[in-house]
Structure 1
Amino acid sequence: MPLSERQLAAFADKHAVQIPYDTSPRHLAGPGDARHVTHGLAAAGWNAVSDPLSAEIILASPDLRHRLQFDPQSRTSAWWRLRAEPVGTEPGWYTEFGELVPAELLAAFTDALTAPPPKQPDPWQQVTSAGWHHEPDGARSPDSMCHIELRPLSEFHDRSSWHIETREPGHGEFPGPRIWHAYLDEHTPAHLVSAFLTALTDHSPLQRGMFERTGHYSAVQEPSPLRPQQVVDAHATRIKHLRAQARSARRQQTKPATIPAHASTAQPAARR
């Protein structure tokens, strides 16, 4: 399902008439436009395998290993689910994200999934450099409303998984109501975890339209220096990059094997 010009035009039509507001911190910016995620995956060659008349969207990667499900009618707090099937010696993995996770954070995760993996980074590095407070079991944002933990899912799990929660301020030892959560299991590749945490802890604001839903009333919004068209252009530039990246990957996969220069091409000597 290639991303059509009509679909890009629909995105542009919506955002061209919205006055962008710089919204921070990112964990309180609200969900934003889900097309940051779905357009990016479609540009990378993912296909829709769900009923086009359903509110649920299911996208599958070209190799069918990865599958993203967006279900705004979910009976659980997880609206986004992304699964990877095991391949060879590589284990499968699972992640889920709540309704109010900013789409730009999830898009950073999926963009990293469709790109060639870099060297395995330390996911904590960006959290540390962003000035988040260290705690014995993880880290928390400067406003103490977002908490990152690396711990086993339960006592029956040996390996640790990532648990990120944004909550309203609590009272003493009692946490406030949960705003959104993200769960990345113990087999989620480190570079994908790093991409999500880097986007989460980035100090630059996210753009939201006037009166657009935020994650919490304490989110700070100020008129953005960006014009609406600049927001649209940034999306178009990202989509163009993802398309080019996908084409390059396909060319590499179909490139014929070459004979090494040092390989001998001489024929065996004839028998005397």
Structure 2
Amino acid sequence: MPLSERQLAAFADKHARQIPFDTSPRHLAGPGDARHVTHGLAAAGWSAASDPLSAEIVLRSPDLRHRLQFDPQSTTSAWWRLRAEPTDTEPGCYAEFGELVPAEILTGFTDALIAPPPQQPDPWQPVTSANWHRDADGTAHSPDSMCHIELRPLSEFSDRPSWHVETREPGHGQFHGPRIWHAYFDERTPAHLVGSFLTALVDASPLQRGMYDRTGHYSAVQEPSPLRPQQVVDAHTARIESLRSRARSARRQLTRPAPTPAKAHTAQPAARR
């Protein structure tokens, strides 16, 4: 399902008519436009496997290993689900995300599915670099204490923990308030995917939202953006082109034949005089 010019034009038409507001912190910016996610994957060759007349969207990767489901009619709190089938060398994995997860944060995860980052650091590294408060018990929280990251063991008998991210309303004392959105990565999710999501989450730069777009919480701060509407559209188009290029490069790397080993040169005996 290649991304068409008509689909890009529909995105541009919506955002070119909106006055952008810089919205922060990111975890309270609201869901934004889901096409940040779906356009990126379509540009990388993912195809639709769902009924085009259904509210549900299912996208599959070119190798059919990954399946992303977006279901705004879900009866659970998870609107986005990613499943990866196991291979001979890698286990399968599962991740899910709630309704109000900002699409631009989710793209940190989905973009890394298209082309893994050149470096694969400890997922905690971007969190500590962003000055989020990290506790000794494997948890961290945002400066406003509303977003929490936890690396949670499966059980006391297992050393394979899973990642849990939750944004909650302020609570009282040790009790957290109602949940706004969540993200969950099972114990088999590759570290570079979790790290890419956390990098996008803790980024201090604001996200752009329209004047009447839904935010995650009333305490989100919105200020008129220095960006013009066309600049928001151009940034989306540039990202799509970059993902196309990265996906083509990744495919070339997979299909490139292995170099033929050089033949060993056998020493020849010296000729007799």
**TM-score, normalised by the number of residues in structure 2:** 0.93
| 1:168 Cα offset (Å) | 0.3
Match of 2:167 in 1: 166
| 1:256 Cα offset (Å) | 3.8
- Give deviations 1:45-74, integer Å, cap 9, x for gaps: 100000100000000000001000000000
Structure 2 unpaired stretches of 5+ = 267-273
| 1:174 Cα offset (Å) | 1.6
Structure 2 Cα separation of the partners of residues 184 and 170 of structure 1: 25
- Give deviations 1:192-221, integer Å, cap 9, x for gaps: 111110110010000000110000000000
SS of aligned partner of 1:62: coil
Distance 1:222 1:130, change over 3 A: same
What is the RMSD of the two structures over their aligned residues, measured on CA atoms? 1.5
Residue 254 of structure 1 pairs with residue 255 of structure 2: yes
- Give deviations 1:115-147, integer Å, cap 9, x for gaps: 045343111111001111122331000000000
Match of 1:186 in 2: 187
Structure 2 Cα separation of the partners of residues 227 and 115 of structure 1: 30
Residue 63 of structure 1 pairs with residue 75 of structure 2: no
| 1:183 Cα offset (Å) | 0.3
Match of 2:42 in 1: 42
Structure 1 unpaired stretches of 5+ = 267-272
Structure 1 Cα separation of the partners of residues 119 and 130 of structure 2: 21
| 1:156 Cα offset (Å) | 6.6
Structure 2 Cα separation of the partners of residues 99 and 247 of structure 1: 31
- Give deviations 1:5-44, integer Å, cap 9, x for gaps: 0000000000000000000000000000000000000011
| 1:265 Cα offset (Å) | 9.4
Match of 1:242 in 2: 243
SS of aligned partner of 1:166: strand
- Give deviations 1:67-104, integer Å, cap 9, x for gaps: 00000000000000001111013111100000000000
Match of 1:151 in 2: 152
| 1:157 Cα offset (Å) | 4.8
Match of 1:7 in 2: 7
Answer yes or no: is the 8 Å Cα contact 1:101–1:180 preserved in 2.
yes
Answer yes or no: is the 8 Å Cα contact 1:118–1:191 preserved in 2.
no
Match of 1:229 in 2: 230
Identity of aligned residues (%): 81
Equivalent residues in 2 for 1:10-89, closer than 5 Å = 10-89=10-89
Structure 1 Cα separation of the partners of residues 147 and 180 of structure 2: 9
Match of 2:97 in 1: 97
| 1:176 Cα offset (Å) | 0.4
Q: Which amino acid aligns with 2:52?
A: P
Structure 1 Cα separation of the partners of residues 2 and 75 of structure 2: 31
SS of aligned partner of 2:14: helix
Match of 1:209 in 2: 210
Q: What is the number of residues matched between the two proteins?
A: 265
| 1:253 Cα offset (Å) | 3.0
Structure 2 Cα separation of the partners of residues 141 and 12 of structure 1: 33
SS of aligned partner of 1:90: coil
Structure 1 Cα separation of the partners of residues 233 and 32 of structure 2: 14
